Amino acid sequence: MSKRIGMRCPHCGNRAQIRTSIEQSPTMRDVYFLCENLTCGHSWVATLEAVRTIAPSGMPNPKVDLPILTRPEVERVYDLLNPSDQRSIFDE
């Protein structure tokens, strides 16, 4: 189920490659994209940011304060990541 992180070009809709990224903070990076369509050639910067915790870290960084998802939110994430024909760990 591995998927590449990426975006489609906002102009032509083709795939775009990540060329590089620069860390702005422990929870945010600027990601530099280049459209794979040579005719388009658009390049841009997007922001990738950690915004919520699904499962707490076993080695928490005291400088990082991400809100923890509620149980219903975790269940929604679980459902997104697992096919509907599998039983949920939250099923009783």
Query: Rounded to an integer, what distance in angstroms lies between the CA atom of residue 57 and that of residue 61?
Result: 8
Is residue 45 within 8 A of residue 38, CB to CB? The reply is: no
What's the whole-number mean pLDDT along residues 1-28? 89
39-73 pLDDT per residue, tens = 999 999 999 999 999 888 999 999 999 999 888 88
The one-letter amino acid code at 50 reads A
What's the whole-number mean pLDDT along residues 77-90? 68
What's the whole-number mean pLDDT along residues 9-27? 96
Q: Which residue has the tokens 């040579």?
A: 38
Give the list of residues 6+ apart from residue 51 with CB closer than 8 angstroms, or none.
27, 66, 67
For residue 65, the 8-state DSSP code is -
